[in-house]
């Protein structure tokens, strides 16, 4: 654009000299024409520029580490007149690791461009149009183009075969507790308590009530498995985080295959405040990973093990802690 402006200034200077040394109507016409040309150029470019927008669209919302994230770069405009020399600057950032980069692209409505980013680590890769401009027909005036919203691609961990399935399955009955069965009913295990308003008469233990001179209710109990809480530390080198998330991804999917809903918890590496997400379906697992991947992970931080384990809804908990090397089982 600077070169075009210099060339235009040279043309104006030449037209002025032509007007000075040759005082004829032709020299005046040439000078006026050169002075009016930029205005005409701008007016002709405005219909194509108004309502235009540059945006990015991911080709796939999910990819795996080692793959490539592809974003289509699209240019929209409402006029039949094309945009002149559109230029777009894109910026991408992995919100988990902090990796970032930018790329300059020239795109037209007839020939969309594409940005390819290699997914070297897990995370949430966000791509956005940082700047988009076009110009008038002469290339003298830059015209800013409206920017579309940012788009993201989730970079999932590599597929990993979960180790120690036998030990994990053997610990399923650990921490089983007896809890009152909703609605009562027959059962081998029961507890005795005082009568409360609303208890059905069939649950009253009449023989024991006659001895104590007060109503005693037989409350049926049923075994319930302990809630599973999976934790991990949200800090460390990118390579270790990749292995940690691969272990977490494999463990959580295995638990879902066993029809075991669970909670995933991690602590903010800066404040130590615990995040808790219930996972009862593959979509819930992806939503949990998206939240985790959108939180920056520094090299050092506060561990989830530094504080007391948060019990979802109270009750007995089976605690599984994920590290880069595997899964550590235990309870607290």
Alpha-carbon distances, residue 236 vs 30, 227, 267, 298 (angstroms): 69, 28, 13, 6
Pairing of strands 68-76, 53-58: antiparallel
What pTM was computed for the model? 0.74
Return the closest-CA partner of residue 129 out of 149, 109, 112, 113: 149
Residue 221's pLDDT is 60
* Residues 117, 122, 125: CA angle, nearest 5 degrees: 45
pLDDT by 10s per residue, the chain, length 332: 677 777 767 777 877 777 777 777 777 777 777 788 778 877 777 777 777 888 999 999 999 999 999 999 988 877 666 677 888 999 999 999 999 999 998 876 566 788 999 999 999 999 999 999 888 777 777 888 889 999 999 999 998 888 877 677 655 555 555 556 555 556 556 567 777 776 676 677 666 677 777 787 767 665 566 788 999 999 999 999 999 999 999 999 999 998 889 999 999 999 989 999 999 999 999 999 999 999 999 999 999 998 877 776 666 788 899 999 988 874 43
Residue 330's pLDDT is 45
Residue 206's pLDDT is 66
Structural tokens at position 238: 């990118």
Asked if residues 312 and 319 have their Cβ atoms less than 8 Å apart, the reply is: no
Please tell me the distance from the alpha carbon of residue 118 to that of residue 112, in angstroms, as a whole number.
20
CB count, 10 Å around CB of 275?
Answer: 16
Asked if residues 143 and 48 have their Cβ atoms less than 8 Å apart, the reply is: no
Please tell me the distance from the alpha carbon of residue 266 to that of residue 248, in angstroms, as a whole number.
12
The partner residues of 56 in beta bridges, in order of sequence, read 73
Return the closest-CA partner of residue 229 out of 141, 304, 124, 134: 304
């Amino acid at each position: 654009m600077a070169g075009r402006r210099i060339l235009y200034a040279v043309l104006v200077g030449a037209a002025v000299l032509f007007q000075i040394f040759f005082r004829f109507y032709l020299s005046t016409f040439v000078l006026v024409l050169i002075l009016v040309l930029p205005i005409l150029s701008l007016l002709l470019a405005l219909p194509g520029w108004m309502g235009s927008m540059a945006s990015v669209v991911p080709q796939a919302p999910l990819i795996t580490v080692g793959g490539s994230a592809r974003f289509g770069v699209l240019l929209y405009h409402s006029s039949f007149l094309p945009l002149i020399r559109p230029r777009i600057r894109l910026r991408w950032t992995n919100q988990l690791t902090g990796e970032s980069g930018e790329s300059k692209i020239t795109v037209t409505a007839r020939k969309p461009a594409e940005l390819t980013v290699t997914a070297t680590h897990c995370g949430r890769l966000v791509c956005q149009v940082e700047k988009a401009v076009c110009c008038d027909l002469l290339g003298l005036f830059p015209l800013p183009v409206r920017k579309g919203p940012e788009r993201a691609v989730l970079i999932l961990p590599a597929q990993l075969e979960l180790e120690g399935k036998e030990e994990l399955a053997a610990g399923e009955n650990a921490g089983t507790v007896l809890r009152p069965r909703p609605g009562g009913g027959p059962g081998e295990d029961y507890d005795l308590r005082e009568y409360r308003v609303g208890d059905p008469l069939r649950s009253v233990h009449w023989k024991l009530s006659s001895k104590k001179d007060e109503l005693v209710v037989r409350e049926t109990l049923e075994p319930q498995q302990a809630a599973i809480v999976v934790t991990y530390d949200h800090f460390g080198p990118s390579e270790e985080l990749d292995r940690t998330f691969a272990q977490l991804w494999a463990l959580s999917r295995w638990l879902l295959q066993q029809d075991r809903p669970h909670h995933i918890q991690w602590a903010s590496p800066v404040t130590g405040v615990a995040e808790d997400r219930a996972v009862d379906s593959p979509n819930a697992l992806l939503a949990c990973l998206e939240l985790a991947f959108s939180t920056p992970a520094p090299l050092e931080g506060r561990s989830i093990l530094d504080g007391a384990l948060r019990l979802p809804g109270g009750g007995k908990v089976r605690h599984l802690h994920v590290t880069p090397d595997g899964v550590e089982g235990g309870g607290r």
